[in-house]
Each structure stands twice: as structure tokens, then as C-alpha cells.
Structure 1
Amino acid sequence: MKLSPTLKVVAGLAATLVVTSACASDRGSDPGAVVAAPAAANEAAAPSESKFGTLESPCGQGDAKGATDQGISDTEIRIGYGDDRGYVKSPGLNREMGDAVAAMIDWCNAQGGINGRQIVGTHYDAAMTQANAVTQDACANEFMLVGHGFAMDQTSEQTRVACNLAAVPGFTAAPDAANGPMKYQGVPFPVDFANGSQWFQLAEMYPDLVGDFDVINSTMPTIIATTTKIRSVAESAGFTLKDCGVTLNYDGEPSYVPFAEKYKECGVKGLWTSRSASPGELNFVKALDQVGINPIFMGEATWYADGVSEWNKDSGLLDNLHAGMTFQMLEHADSVPAVKKYVELVEEQGGKTALLGMQATSSFLLWATAAKECGSDLSRQCMIDELSQIHEWDGGGLHAVTDPGNNMPAACGLVVTLKGAEYTQAFPAGTANFKCDDRYLVATDRSTWGTELGPDRIATKFLNPNIIRPTS
């Protein structure tokens, strides 16, 4: 079975930086450590449903009782999840997230649910522009939002906070959402810290080019915030970025050739994009070839995608593509039990598999792990208390170790490259391993945050006296 890394376009989502591993808590003692994934053979004896990779399943029978909060009864836990699949300009946008959570709900319920309560999931299609409308609906009906990803979450964050709708999203995009209250993620992407592994690793791969890169600017506000942040991260990794003065219209350009010419005149040998592989971005790649330059093209994990490899299969124009990730490659399923399990569960339901799907899966498992600990006392307060105490998390081996309780990203990463239609791991050497280094965790400049944070690193914009805070 060939595993296709299908990853739909998600506009401006720097939040999708992702990788896997066993980067353990002692990684600081060996800052240059390369960490291998758990071997599949070690899991062979485990019952298929008792574990998700290295993680003991949080699902199972039990005797939890009580209508302890909105959406909770003796027999049910109601959660909302979703994506932007109905966006007319990009049908199926991040659909893999909803597909993943739907598969995980069925997997969990087949084992008895959470302490005996069945999970009832409501799928919300935000269709890019309806994030606030679906959040209003969830406010009235759901216990929590879990594993979702809405690209325009800046339009719904005030609503979510006002109704105390706790959430464990698959990704966040807007600054106020990334550091929002009552919110924990399997793979955090806060505004004040970043996983800069891809820049440090690129510097190791191409040390002679650290003065020859530039970042592609965009007119989209989310991407503007992201590229500003990326510039500071790149500088922390030793890059002296050019400023060629090129900004691409998010809605497209009549011709990308003048912009490519400007990069040629500027002498760039490497380009970073925070935009996903949209048709416009691919046309820009064609324009670079038309003017006779072939810079290293580097982007977010969203460039590790089925559509990208199909596009490159005949042209080869992206054979210079590099993508930084903190998740395992889907091609590594045979050596990474968690990836194999994810693929099996989603494909059994005819869903799409992709990095964002693994990201949603990790957040679902994080949510379920905390919910199990709450038992009959399941409430939003208990969930906030439990989630705030989880400080080492890799989704059973789906990605590098993060600290959800403190909203801190991983300090590990890998780089993939593309040749024709085939992705391979380019750095570090080997298969299904990551390089970890404390330097990869970069404190970003306050000017790049896009929001104000309190002393607890929570965005202050929508705070009110009634938000739920950890009690310990």
C-alpha cells in the first residue's frame, strides 16, 4: 500500500509546523541529539486497540455518571470538531482534520468511549468565512471543541472565550487564538516561542548560503504576521536575510515574472514561503524557472503534500523544495506504529491522510487522555486542570515531544525534500528520526507577536473575569 501525504492548502497556517518522535525530556543534556522513532517490533505484542503507537489508549469501559457540565450526561460526551472543507475557492480545505477526528471517535467508542461514556461528535464546516457562526453553535451545544482547525479563527476567538468553550484544537492561526485562554494543543504554536529547527538545519545543510535567502512577503494579514516572525527566527539561526522588496498579492498576480526578475536581480539563492502550495504560489515557481533561476525553495510542512508531488512529477521545478517538519513522514508508517495506526483508522473510513490529520489526531488523544483522568467529575474546569499538567506529549509517536501544559512547541525537527513525485527525509541522515537541539526553541521578538500577553503568556484581548483557569 502506497501512503500518499495528502495535505490540502491552508491559507497562512504557519501553525502547521509538525514532526514526530521520542525526543525525550532529557534532550537538553545532548543538544545535538538525533532521536529515532520507536521501533514497530516493540509494539507487535500489544493488542491492536490497547495502544496508539506508544500511548496507552485513554478509551475504554467504565462507570462514569452525572450531568457534570454542558454536553455531559450519564452516557454521552458531546464534542465539536471540524475544518474548512466547504470553502468554495478551495473545496476540501483541511478536510483531513475532520476525517481524522471522526475516525478517532469511532476508534474510542468501539473500546467503550471515555470511562464508559460514548463520544458524540458534531462536525462543523467553517468554510473559511464561517468560523464565528459555527463557534456560536458550538457554544450552545458542545462540551468542548476538539481537534478542529479553522483558518480564520481570529473571527471566532472572542465568541469562544465569551462562552467559556474550552478547546483542544488541531491548529490555531491567529495570534489571539494561538495563546488564547482555555486552550491546549497537541502541537502548540504560540506567538512568543517558535520551533526554528528548519532554519538551523538548513544552515547545516547549506552553510555557504546563509546570506543569500529572502522571505516571500504576502498581502494576507495572517501571513504578514507569520513572515515577520519567521525573519526573526531565521536570524536566530545565523541567517542574514536579504530584503528584495517583493510582496505577492494573496489573491494572485496577472504575471509573476516581474517578481521573479526582481529576485534574480537581488541575487537570491534561497526563498522561504509561509504560504501553502496554492495555484498562485506554483505559478510563481514557474516564473522563477522562466527567468532562469532555481533557488532552494523552502516552506512550511504544508508543502509536504500530494498535490505538490503530483504537480512536480513531470515538471521537476520543485526538485529544490525543502520543508521543515516536526511530524513523522507518512512514508515511515512501517517503522512508526503511531503513523501506521493513524493511516489504518482513517483509510478504513475512506478519509484523507495528511499531516494536518495527524495533528488533529494528536489533539484528540490529548483531550481523551485528560478526559479519562476526570472520570465522573468530567467538567471544563477538570479538563483545564488536567491539560495544564501535561508537559511531555508526542501523540504516541506522531510528532516530536511538546509541552501542551505550558503551550510550548518542540525543540526537534527534520527536513524533507522532493524529487519528482517522491518525498524523502534529507536531514538528519537516516529514516524516521529527528535532530533535537535546545537552540531550536526560539524566543521571538515581542514586535512580531501580533497580540499582548499577560504574565501567564495568555492573550489579554478577550479576557473576562469568568474564564476558566487552572486551579493548581
Structure 2
Amino acid sequence: MKPRKSATLFAALALSAALVSACATERGGDAGVPAAAGSGASTTTSKSDSNFGTLASPCGKGDAKGATEQGVSDTEIKIGFGDDRGYAQSPGLNKEMSDAVSAMIDWCNEQGGINGRKIVGTDYDAAMTQANTVMQEACRSQFMMVGHGFAMDATAEQTRVACNMAAVPGFTVSPDAASGPMSYQGVPFPVDYANGAAWFQMAQLHPDMLNDFDLVGSTMPAIITSLAKTRQMAEAAGFKLKDCGVTLNYQGEPSYVPFAEKYKQCGVKGLWTSRSPVPAEFNFFKAVDQVGLDAIVFGEATWYGNAAQTFNKESGVLNGLNADMTFQMLENADKVPAVRKYLDLVSAKGGKTALLGMQSTSSFLLWATAAKECGSTLTRQCMVTELSKIHQWDGGGLHAVTDPGKNMPAKCGLMTELQGGDYSQVYPRDTAQFQCDDKYLIHTDPATWGTTLDANRVSTKYLNPNVITPQV
């Protein structure tokens, strides 16, 4: 996701956000992707460009009326959003999320709001440690939380559920939030299913290396759990992973050379990392290069970003790195109208553009689509019901199709490759296209879930008789 130089607990929580979302990066508008390549950033909204990619705009004028719920009046809908940008050890953490929602609120209000009601947003800064305080404040005034992402959402989930704060997060981290009640995401990452597209696609790219990959081990519990799921996905794709017995201390090692040597002696030709592109990880791959181990580096979408790009532009150590994506690349903006729209809207407001920003944008559009359907009966009950009905969602083309209503991830992906300071799509070969297959959807081992699910696949930890459930 981005560098985190902090105490072990906070580092673990921050990393968990990256592991769960697999979409967070530091890739901003200054990271080799102009805000509006080929045209000026759009600063006005006309009827002809009110659509968001392939999605007809859910925003517009109307005559919806009624103080139907907390935060809803004849003229306004109050929603909360936010990130951890005030975290002292990583200033600006996930700021692209708030920048995206803020821009989307303006875009929607310029069209007339939702059925004529103006959206009034409150931008919360959880600063890593204040997620529960933020949620307590939201519970007193907001209709819903939309497009937010807090690394320590585990501390706020009980409060959210207790006050019936329905939510459409940009991402979730803790198992209970990822599969929580009254919560729907544009890009779901439930605890019990995973999108294994990356490993199936790597098998297509390197069919001769199915026995030559290993996972980079770690002392961090969050990574250990993630690697257990990763191993399951790799095996489903036909990989027989090596077990070289290498475990790296998450806080760093005095020298990574002995560990690199061990991988070399083990005969690996490919290394998967569940860590983010942070300095310690870069030092490890420097050691891999130093000992002459020419291995493919393979990781999640966190490795599609400015940190890896900058490091490799200077060193070349990560040439050939593969990072999997369920979102369109920012480089594909000229071929994907939704990506262009996102870049134009956020850049016009001076905001930061990055993958997590697109993730928040998708969730905002999902929320707005359901809110439009509720009209004058805009209540949390109506929102939960309408959101539960949405089973085909791609944010207007921002990402592969997901099923928010059932909290199911995509069954598609694309693979990127880094050479020097530039990323390109290497699988499938057709740029801006995803490869999809039902076999990519992997049912994960319950031992890795971190929570107990009920018959509706909802976390049972904070359930109570007053929880809002869909009425369909």
C-alpha cells in the first residue's frame, strides 16, 4: 500500500489494509500517468458527459421529499467518508480516497444531487488510531458512511453495527468488517472467497515454472494468514510451491543476503511477496539481485504504484515484476472512459489519483445507484435492500465485474509488468481487457477467515436483533 514506519501493531494493521484491498498504491497523478493525457482536465459537467463510463449517472434533479432517516431531509443527504491521512508516521495515508469521494459529491451535486437532494459530505480523518471515534461521531449525524477506508476498522465495527450505520466502504480490513452486516462494497473482499486470477494467469505466462515458485515468509500474523490463502490459490492454479523455509522478520533484517542465498540454493525461479513495496522489501530484493538470483517477482496490486516504480527506475532490480489487478490500469485511461472520467474529476479538484481512489469512486457510485432507487423512501432499510439486489457491478468500467449484493469478488483479472519506470499490461494481451473464468473464484479454508459466518455469510460477532437485513 505505502511505506509504514511505525510500531509493530500499527504496521500490521496498515499492512492488513493492503492485503485485504489488494488495490492500494501510492500511484498518483505525478507517477507517470497525466491527469488528463490527450485532453485538458474537465472542469464542467454537461448533460453529454454526465455518464460515468458505461454507467448512466445516478445523479440528477428530482422531487424526493421527506425527513426519512437521520441525515436525510427534504433537501439534503448527509454522508460520511474518510481515510487515515493524519497518521503521523505516514502523512497523507490513503488521501486519494477522500479526494475521490469529495470530487464525486461535487460531480453529483452539479447534476442536481440524488433525486434533487444535495449530498452533504463530512470528511473524517481517522489518523489510524481514531477509527472508533470517527464512527461514534458519524453515528450521531450521518445517514451512511460511503467510500471510506480505515486501517483500524476492527476498532470501529462494533460501534457501526450497534448504531445501524449502513455503509458502502472503499475497502475493509478486519474480517468482521469485510463480511459485516449492513455493508456493501463496489469491490468486495469477503473472508470466505478469493479471486485467484493472478495465479492462473501466471501459470499461463510461465507454464514451465509451476514447480519453481516459493512464497516469501514473514513473522507478521497478517501476512502468515494471507500466505495460507495464497498457497491455496496457487495450488488450485496448478503450482507446486517450493518450501525453502525462509521467514523474514517484518521489522527488517541486518542483512538479507543469507536469506537470498537460501532461496538461490533452493532453486527458486519466482518469488511471491504479500508485503507492500516498502524499504525493507526493496532491501530484500536488492540482496536477491546481489547473489545472482534471477527470479521473477510477483505480488498483489500494491506493487503497481509509485514506490516500486521509483525504486526500479533507479535500480532496475524489479525489472519484470508482475502485479495482478482487478482494476483497469491508469495508463489505460485513453481506452477506458471510466478511468478517464475518474482522473479528470479528481485532478480538476487538485486531488491525488491512485487505485484506492478508483475503489472509493466505485463504492460511491454503487451507493448513489441504490439511493436513486429509494427516492422519497430513502432509509437505511431501503438502502440495504437495494444494495443487496445489485449483482453485476464494474463501476462504469473501472474494474472487473463483482457481485456487491452477495459480497462476492471478481472472477477476472489482468497482469501488469514493470520495466524501468513504466508499467504495461502483459496478460491478457489485449490492452484494457480482463481475463475471466469461474475457476478463478476460490473458496478459502475456514481456518483463514478470522471470524464466524452465519448462513448468509455475514460475520456473527456483533450481530444483534436490530441489525438491518434486506427485505426482498
Could you tell me which residue of structure 2 aligns to residue 11 of structure 1?
15
Could you tell me which residue of structure 2 aligns to residue 83 of structure 1?
83
CA distance in 2, matches of 1:325, 1:53: 19
CA distance in 2, matches of 1:221, 1:166: 30
Higher relative contact order (CA 8 A, sep 6+): 1
Could you tell me which residue of structure 1 aligns to residue 263 of structure 2?
263
Instruction: Output the amino acid matched with 1:345.
Output: L
Could you tell me which residue of structure 2 aligns to residue 349 of structure 1?
349
Summarize the alignment of residues 46-445 of structure 1 with structure 2, pairs less than 5 Å apart. 47-445=47-445
CA distance in 1, matches of 2:134, 2:375: 28
- Deviations for 1:241-294, whole angstroms, at most 9, x for unmatched residues? 222232333333333223222322322211111221112111211121122213
CA distance in 2, matches of 1:273, 1:135: 33
Unaligned runs of 5+ in 1: 1-6, 20-45
Whether the 8 Å CA contact 1:8–1:95 is kept in 2: the answer is no
Whether the 8 Å CA contact 1:173–1:222 is kept in 2: the answer is no
Could you tell me which residue of structure 1 aligns to residue 29 of structure 2?
none
Q: How many aligned residue pairs are there?
A: 441
User: What is the alpha-carbon root mean square deviation over aligned residues?
Assistant: 1.7
Q: What TM-score, normalized to structure 2?
A: 0.90
Instruction: Output the amino acid matched with 1:470.
Output: P
Whether the 8 Å CA contact 1:18–1:187 is kept in 2: the answer is no
Instruction: Output the amino acid matched with 1:321.
Output: L
CA distance in 2, matches of 1:327, 1:294: 29
Q: What TM-score, normalized to structure 1?
A: 0.90
Change (3 A) 1:378 1:78: same
Q: Shift in Å at residue 109 of structure 1? A: 0.8
CA distance in 2, matches of 1:76, 1:181: 25
Identity of aligned residues (%): 68
Whether the 8 Å CA contact 1:212–1:242 is kept in 2: the answer is yes
Question: 2:356 aligns to what SS in structure 1?
Answer: helix
Q: Shift in Å at residue 180 of structure 1? A: 0.6
Instruction: Output the amino acid matched with 1:108.
Output: C
CA distance in 2, matches of 1:154, 1:291: 41
Q: Shift in Å at residue 72 of structure 1? A: 1.0
305-314 or 411-420, larger mean C-alpha shift: 305-314
- Deviations for 1:75-124, whole angstroms, at most 9, x for unmatched residues? 11111111111222222211111111111011011111111111111111
Question: 1:322 aligns to what SS in structure 2?
Answer: strand
CA distance in 1, matches of 2:451, 2:304: 30
CA distance in 1, matches of 2:216, 2:129: 25
CA distance in 1, matches of 2:264, 2:149: 37
Whether the 8 Å CA contact 1:295–1:320 is kept in 2: the answer is no
Whether the 8 Å CA contact 1:294–1:320 is kept in 2: the answer is no
Instruction: Output the amino acid matched with 2:294.
Output: N
Q: Shift in Å at residue 218 of structure 1? A: 2.8
Q: Shift in Å at residue 18 of structure 1? A: 5.5
Whether the 8 Å CA contact 1:8–1:92 is kept in 2: the answer is no
CA distance in 1, matches of 2:346, 2:399: 18
Instruction: Output the amino acid matched with 1:311.
Output: F
CA distance in 2, matches of 1:340, 1:320: 27
Question: 2:297 aligns to what SS in structure 1?
Answer: strand
Q: Shift in Å at residue 417 of structure 1? A: 0.3
Question: 1:123 aligns to what SS in structure 2?
Answer: strand
CA distance in 1, matches of 2:142, 2:252: 38
- Deviations for 1:163-207, whole angstroms, at most 9, x for unmatched residues? 111110111111111111110000011111111000000011111
Unaligned runs of 5+ in 2: 4-13, 25-45
CA distance in 2, matches of 1:450, 1:265: 35
Question: 2:138 aligns to what SS in structure 1?
Answer: helix
CA distance in 1, matches of 2:174, 2:160: 13
CA distance in 1, matches of 2:237, 2:447: 18
CA distance in 1, matches of 2:254, 2:123: 37
Question: 2:434 aligns to what SS in structure 1?
Answer: strand
287-296 or 46-55, larger mean C-alpha shift: 46-55
CA distance in 1, matches of 2:179, 2:432: 30
CA distance in 1, matches of 2:333, 2:280: 32
CA distance in 2, matches of 1:221, 1:157: 21
Instruction: Output the amino acid matched with 1:167.
Output: A
Could you tell me which residue of structure 2 aligns to residue 454 of structure 1?
454
CA distance in 2, matches of 1:144, 1:108: 16
94-103 or 219-228, larger mean C-alpha shift: 219-228
CA distance in 1, matches of 2:311, 2:90: 16
Whether the 8 Å CA contact 2:23–2:302 is kept in 1: the answer is no
Q: Shift in Å at residue 48 of structure 1? A: 4.2
